[in-house]
Structure 1
Amino acid sequence: MVAVTPQDDSRLRYAWRVCSVTSLGLVLIGIAGSTLNVALPTVVRHFHAGPLESGWILLAFLLVNTASLVFFGRVADLLGRREVYLSGFALFTLASLLAGFSPEVWFLVGMRVLQAIGAAMILANGTVIITDAFPPERLSQGMGVYMATLSVAQLAGPTLGGLIAKAAGWQWIFWVNVPAGLIALGWGALILRKMPRRPREPVDALGNVLLFAALSALLLALSEAGSRGLSSPVVLTGAAVFALLLPAIVLAERRSANPVLDMRLFGGRLLAYANLASFCNALARSALILVVALYFQAARGLDAFEAGLSVLPVPAGIGLASPIVGMLGRSVSPYVLSIGGAMLSAAGLGTLMLTADPGTPYWMIGIGLFVAGCGSGTFLTSNTTQVMRSLPQESLGVVNGFRVMVMNIGVVLSVGVSLSVLTSSVGPGLRAQVYAGTLSELSPVAVGQLMDGFQHAYAVLFAVALAGTLMAALARPQRAVASLDSTSR
């Protein structure tokens, strides 16, 4: 038995306090996202927003958040993770306050952009702060609790969003973040210690600008392709800009003394396939609550609160699986657990493919959602632990930013593709009713057409989940990687 020294005990107590801070950050962002997913029809009806504006209420956040993650990971490596992390809380809280005062829909979209920048500062650093605080042998436990808090947010979010939209008004969907943000900011300032900064080095300004522009162009093209078609000028322009900037990024990063993306860090087999598996899981998982909430409102005529209750099996599954996997991670390889999680996610989505009918029993939909949630909780905890254990300490920020960026590209794609596939089954004139959740009031024929869209959307997500299982299996740790991991500790 290994003796526990007072220093070890003190470090572990501090690590769990750090986990409470970072978990608050994840809860804040998770609630902000899941409340809006369920309450989107209420916001759309208030502003009389069309399909374009409705999509951008969600996509503006995802686009900007994704495109700025690597930048803030690098900035935190150089300027201090604590300072950047706490600044993210402050900006997110302020943007949430202003969003509730939005006089029109495009002002709201602008506040979502500011929320996205604050969230990027939080997300790019939360996992890194936990990794730095926990002893390596306890990291899987800390990561399990950290990921479980996502389920707390998603458990509370849909119900809270539906209740707020029904009882208090859409503004409180954003204002509810303000007290939570202030508490998180104060607790973080009290608990987090200043972390050693790397020596001052010039920031790769050109690389950051090129990367931000390329990602923005790509994500804009991907998000618009489904609704406007591949021949749309917006889609063609975005794809062309990305194709032109990609070789420029590679050339600039090779020449930079301090590249924002050090290509050498992403060439290993484990990181490459683990990130691809994470991308597929995010793509398969992220739009699920949104799609199912729209199903219950647009096809079954439930209100926002009832729809929020109906999607709770997803976060319940995540919340059950994440801490269990965190404990298992001390004796079972994260590689094995990530494969099992990916398989469970695919099984849940496969079950949901059989539920695209207005007469489907609720219990059958609940089983599919719960299994998919368990799979996501298992995969997220084990995949994150697997990646973070394999990295050298000095590169944690930028590589974690890259990891979360890859996941967020999957999120953007998931929302854009799922909504496009879903609404393609009905005519353009009825798509606004789908977003507003009022299609069930118009025509049984239209609802029948929409059911085809739900089945196709589930089928696409299921196929992606299967691809994620394959990528997780290919992310087998190599001896060289294990050696590097041991050395870095």
Structure 2
Amino acid sequence: MSGRAVRGPWRVFAATAVGVVAVFLNMSGLAVALPTITRELGADPGQADWILLGYMLVTTALILVFGRLADIVGRRSLYLTGLVVFTTGTGLAALSPSAGFLIAARIVQAVGAAAVITNNTALLTDVFPARTLGRALGWNVTVAATAQVAGPVVGGAATQLLGWRGLFIVCVPIGLIAIGASVPAVPANRKRDAGTREPFDLPGALLSTAMLTALVLTLTPGVTAAVADWLPWACGGVTVALFTAFAVVQARRAHPLVDVALLRTRAIALVLAAVLANAVGSYAVVLLASLHEQAVGGASSLEAGVLVTPVAAGTLITSAAAGSLFDRFTPRALTTTGMATTACGLLGFSLTLSTTAVPFWTVAPFLFLVGAGTGLFMTPSTSALMLSAPADRRGMANGLRSTTQNVGYLLSTALALAFTTTGLSEPARRAAYDGTLNTLNVLASGELHRFVANIRVTGFVLTGITLIGGAVCLALPTSLRTARTADTADARSTANGRPEPATSRKASP
């Protein structure tokens, strides 16, 4: 490949990486700023839930929708529009005068974020040749994961120095840089014949959005039960019904939102199940650690952000090392090891919790393990998915991965918020969110102990989910080649000008 050909794809990668950083930094950074936001805006527990969940719900619901729309209106235009909408929503969030306004601004952010996340992957798939696509997508996952785990540190520092609005203020110039870098770098996708353009699956889009909304309401009984005791159960039934309807509709549509045929591939189905388990198991640990330190230990947002830095460190180290491990180990070995490492970290974290502040050096090793396991899992799981999907379906396959991962983040957050406040009185729930539970005059009733016990149980549940994900990884086919092995084989085939003999394309051990 010529130097110009190499620079072109990686220039697109560099430009879109800035957009990825802005989106994921903001998404995860809010966890440590939530108590300050709740306190200063006077948000009730339901509003505090939706400041986090509203953004995640809209982003998750729209990823598949925007993936299909991009094929119709063009990826470049939708991606750039997403950056503009996200940056605008970020600016509005920084100016929010009330909790309700902030929730609305976060929804605007989420619409833009969904367009960025979806088209980021598709744009890379368009410009990278097959032999380097897996590597590029692996680095893309690493950038997203790094921004995600660095968010709490940045959010804590920005909140401490500039107030809670500082998190949004910091992200505005990042969004503007992403727009400026992407306009000249991102190419327009090739024009398609209008007569062959696939129609948009509106029923699938509506069903998927409604299904995810019902799922979130099911998992946030603190919000729904405030309206009626029976509502969480009703939302659960509606979720099952909508999921069934969605599956039936997708199987019968000529041009569905989700190609069910991909899910019939065993390796793809297993990878997606593992991605879901990893996201559910690992994502909420930053929120749990932050709530504990601020509500129980009386820590500031900056101190809480520093507490979770081992998660970021672990992810960075193992993500960087994963590439060199590709030549020696299969995706099954790497993903299983990653899951087991995360489970050990979650279990250790849960066991260290107490009704007082936890010393940094006590909890840091376990948080590091959570991050290290996540970093070790992400790149090989993405590569395994890409290698299992047909070349002309890699964009859709990675769209499914992104959606599955975001559903996992959504479920993890919803479960954490629901479990940690179970059995608490309304004043205690409010104090848990605004970081003042340790000063509330309810200690005699044992609510502080109940809150800590709830966090510990949540940690145990997440540990169990992660172990299930590890068992799923063990079922991955050993015949899956690693991304680097595939790239080497493809490069050799291209250099020779003929297909590589089957005997030389064996799976790596």
TM-score (norm 2): 0.87
Alignment of 1:191-202 (within 5 A): 191-198=185-192, 199-202=196-199
Distance 1:386 1:479 in 2: 7
- Residue in 2 that maps onto 1:407: 405
Relative distance call for 1:91 and 1:163 in structure 2 (3 A) is same
Secondary structure at 1:176's aligned position in 2?
A: helix
Alignment of 1:32-431 (within 5 A): 32-154=26-148, 156-198=150-192, 199-224=196-221, 228=225, 232-357=229-354, 358=356, 360-424=358-422, 426-431=424-429
- Residue in 1 that maps onto 2:474: 473
User: Runs (4+) of structure 1 moved beyond 6 Å?
Assistant: 479-482, 484-487
Secondary structure at 2:220's aligned position in 1?
A: helix
In the TM superposition, residue 250 of structure 1 has moved relative to its aligned partner by: 3.4
Distance 1:389 1:78 in 2: 26
Distance 1:251 1:458 in 2: 35
Distance 2:204 2:305 in 1: 42
Point out the more displaced range, 204-213 or 287-296: 204-213
8 Å CA contact 2:331–2:381 kept in 1: the answer is: yes
8 Å CA contact 2:41–2:98 kept in 1: the answer is: yes
Distance 1:67 1:283 in 2: 17
8 Å CA contact 1:270–1:478 kept in 2: the answer is: no
Point out the more displaced range, 172-181 or 242-251: 242-251
Unpaired segments of 5 or more residues in structure 2?
Answer: 495-509
Point out the more displaced range, 441-450 or 336-345: 441-450
Distance 1:285 1:21 in 2: 28
In the TM superposition, residue 478 of structure 1 has moved relative to its aligned partner by: 5.7
Amino acid at match of 2:286: I
In the TM superposition, residue 147 of structure 1 has moved relative to its aligned partner by: 3.0
Aligned residues: 481
8 Å CA contact 1:64–1:117 kept in 2: the answer is: yes
In the TM superposition, residue 360 of structure 1 has moved relative to its aligned partner by: 4.3
Q: What CA deviation, in whole Å up to 9, does each residue of 1:229-274 have, x standing for no partner? A: 9983432332333333334333433432211122111111111111
Relative distance call for 1:359 and 1:255 in structure 2 (3 A) is closer
- Residue in 2 that maps onto 1:435: 433
Amino acid at match of 2:215: L
Distance 2:38 2:227 in 1: 26
Amino acid at match of 1:51: P
Alignment of 1:457-472 (within 5 A): 457-472=458-473
Distance 1:108 1:143 in 2: 33
In the TM superposition, residue 394 of structure 1 has moved relative to its aligned partner by: 3.3
In the TM superposition, residue 197 of structure 1 has moved relative to its aligned partner by: 4.9
Point out the more displaced range, 62-71 or 442-451: 442-451
Unpaired segments of 5 or more residues in structure 1?
Answer: none
Secondary structure at 2:258's aligned position in 1?
A: coil
Q: What CA deviation, in whole Å up to 9, does each residue of 1:366-391 have, x standing for no partner? A: 00001110110111111112112222
Q: What CA deviation, in whole Å up to 9, does each residue of 1:56-97 have, x standing for no partner? A: 100101111111111111122333222222221111001111
Distance 1:402 1:151 in 2: 17
Question: Of 25, 34, 47, which residue of structure 2 is paired with 1:31?
Answer: 25
8 Å CA contact 1:150–1:319 kept in 2: the answer is: no
TM-score (norm 1): 0.90
Q: What CA deviation, in whole Å up to 9, does each residue of 1:317-371 have, x standing for no partner? A: 1111112213333553223211121111111112112211236432120000011
8 Å CA contact 2:332–2:478 kept in 1: the answer is: yes
Secondary structure at 1:475's aligned position in 2?
A: coil
Identical aligned pairs, as a percentage?
A: 34
Q: What CA deviation, in whole Å up to 9, does each residue of 1:393-444 have, x standing for no partner? A: 4333433222222222211111111122222264333011110011122365
Distance 1:241 1:359 in 2: 41
8 Å CA contact 2:59–2:111 kept in 1: the answer is: yes
Distance 1:33 1:58 in 2: 8
Amino acid at match of 2:211: A
Amino acid at match of 1:70: L
